[in-house]
């Protein structure tokens, strides 16, 4: 939602830094701001930061209110477009335990006739996630990270079910509230898609934007690209550092279970293999997949087969034996694959002992209903016969 001027990260597609139109501070400490909508008065106390929308101040509510807390954030901008969206989503998500609340939305008319647009928002005592991790250091436990990211995904899931895309899920738009509970804020660039093809992305955050967009290789933003950003947040929580984006080669070093590594890798890896929505990612976080166990097969004839892991014999000998037995050999598992032969794990696998690229692809294909039989090396040679 907000960031210091030196840390502004929301950029246009041409990567020009976004700045408020008006130079200087839009409010000053001690100033009283009155909402013509609710008749509530707010006393500005402290400048907190600024971003693409405008500037944010801590303020104190004056007088009594049953709905608005004593301390709020006043977010002010000279532009009406982002204000309208944030006010709308404040109403849409009102009362959601994982969304920053919008208590008041009103225009502020200056003496000179200029109009600025204000929001009174829920105040997050611990600031945004980026500042919190920078100040406190240390990664979160896996249990906490799973729980808090699943909470953020509940908000995102509501957007996705309404065909809306957030597009700005960054560590400066996720806030740490009391009890170290995370809440999602800043809905200023949310857009609704008219179909499943997505929407054109003209505004990008280079910290968490998918690599395909930074390279200009993806034409439209889809729900799976929001998922990429959530994967970045999850990896940053586990690592305890939001200062740099998580890359695929970083995943195997994350201090968490192999299952969580697989989830992070799938979020930030190849675009077509990502979870397709927030609900899919929640399902993965809450329900570990069944372990990959060896199955039973009578013959290799006409089997579409792939190998993974380290075999006792050279891979070329195993491929030749499989072909003599009538199998069609593939390099990577695909929708055609019916059998995978698994050797010993490679210690350099992308996401842990059971998290090689081929094993992750088998799990993804099984989720989509493809039947794939897993064989260990002993079973394979029993069916293929001795190598020559």
Q: What's the confidence (pLDDT) of residue 329?
A: 95
Encode pLDDT of 365-376 as tens digits: 888 888 999 999
What CATH number corresponds to the domain at position 223? Answer: 1.10.510.10
In this structure, are 281 and 334 located in the same domain?
A: no
Across 293-297, 347-351, 377-381, which has the greatest mean pLDDT?
Answer: 377-381
Query: Pick from 231, 251, 286: which residue ends a domain?
Result: 286
Say yes or no: 279 and 135 in one domain.
Answer: yes
- Closest by CA to 156, choosing from 245, 103, 247, 231, is 231
Q: CA–CA separation, 268 vs 334, rounded Å?
A: 20
Name 307's bridge partners: 341
Cα 52 from Cα 55, distance rounded (Å): 9
Q: Tell me, yes or no, whether 340 and 221 share the same domain.
A: no
Nearest-angstrom CA–CA distance, 244 and 297: 47
Quick one: 271 and 145 in the same domain?
yes
Residues 141 and 274 in one domain: yes
Task: Count how many domains the chain has.
Answer: 3
Q: Are residues 186 and 326 in the same domain?
A: no
Q: What is the DSSP letter of 271?
A: G
The span from the CA of 129 to the CA of 155, in Å, is: 17
Across-strand partners of 28?
A: none
Residue 296 lies in a domain: no
Does position 10 have pLDDT exceeding 80, yes or no?
Answer: no
pLDDT digit string, tens, across residues 353-366:
666 788 888 888 88
In a domain, 353, yes or no: yes
Residues 359 and 376 occupy one common structural domain: yes
- Identify whether the C-beta of residue 342 lies closer than 8 Å to the C-beta of residue 297: no
Model confidence over 190-221: pLDDT tens digits?
999 888 888 887 777 788 888 888 888 778 99
Same domain for 191 and 219, yes or no, is yes
pLDDT above 80 (res 285)? yes
Domain with 221 in it = 129-286
Specify if 234 maps to a domain. Answer: yes
Average pLDDT over all residues of the chain: 88
Bridge partners of residue 328, in order along the sequence: 304
Same domain, 202 and 273: yes
| DSSP symbols for 36-70 | TTT--EEEEEEEEEE-SS-EEEEEEEES--SSS-S
Residue 61 is predicted with a pLDDT of: 97
Q: What is the pTM of this model?
A: 0.80
CATH number assigned to the domain comprising residue 116: 3.30.200.20
Please check whether residue 299 lies inside any domain of the structure.
Answer: no
With respect to residue 88, please indicate whether it lies within any of the assigned structural domains: yes
Per DSSP, the three-state class of 249 is helix
Token digits of residue 194 = 């008219």
Examine residue 187 and state whether it is found in any structural domain, yes or no: yes
């Amino acid at each position: 939602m907000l960031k210091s001027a030196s840390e502004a990260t929301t950029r246009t597609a041409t990567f020009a830094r976004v700045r408020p139109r008006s130079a200087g501070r839009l409010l000053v400490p001690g100033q009283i701001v009155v909402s013509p909508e609710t008749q509530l008065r707010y006393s500005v106390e402290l400048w907190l930061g600024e971003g693409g929308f405008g500037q944010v101040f801590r303020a104190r509510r004056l007088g009594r209110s049953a709905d608005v807390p004593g301390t709020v954030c006043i977010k002010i901008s000279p532009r009406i477009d982002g204000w309208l969206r944030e006010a709308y989503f404040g109403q849409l998500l009102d009362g959601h335990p994982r969304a920053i609340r919008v208590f008041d939305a009103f225009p502020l008319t200056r003496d000179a006739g200029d109009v600025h647009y204000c929001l009174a928002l829920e105040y997050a005592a611990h600031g945004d996630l980026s500042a919190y991790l920078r100040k406190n250091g240390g990664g979160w436990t896996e249990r906490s990270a799973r729980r808090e990211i699943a909470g953020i995904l509940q908000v995102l899931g509501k957007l996705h079910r309404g065909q809306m895309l957030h597009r700005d899920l960054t560590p400066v738009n996720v806030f740490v509230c009391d009890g170290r509970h995370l809440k999602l804020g800043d809905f200023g660039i949310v857009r609704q898609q008219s179909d499943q093809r997505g929407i054109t992305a003209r505004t990008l955050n280079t910290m968490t934007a998918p690599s395909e967009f930074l390279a200009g290789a993806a034409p439209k933003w889809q729900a799976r690209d929001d998922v990429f950003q959530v994967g970045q947040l999850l990896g940053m929580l586990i690592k305890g550092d939001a200062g740099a984006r998580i890359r695929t080669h970083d995943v195997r070093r994350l201090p968490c279970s192999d299952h969580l590594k697989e989830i992070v890798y799938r979020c930030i890896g190849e675009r077509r293999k990502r979870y397709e929505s927030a609900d899919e990612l929640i399902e993965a976080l809450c329900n570990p997949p069944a372990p990959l166990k060896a199955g039973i097969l009578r013959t290799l004839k006409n089997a579409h087969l792939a190998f993974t892991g380290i075999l006792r014999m050279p891979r070329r000998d195993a491929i030749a034996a499989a072909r003599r037995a009538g199998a069609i050999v593939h390099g990577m598992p695909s929708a055609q694959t019916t059998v995978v032969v698994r050797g010993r794990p490679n210690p350099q696998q992308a996401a842990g002992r059971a998290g090689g690229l081929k094993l992750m692809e088998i799990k993804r294909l099984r989720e989509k209903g493809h039947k794939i039989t897993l064989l260990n090396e002993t079973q394979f040679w029993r069916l293929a016969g001795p190598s020559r």
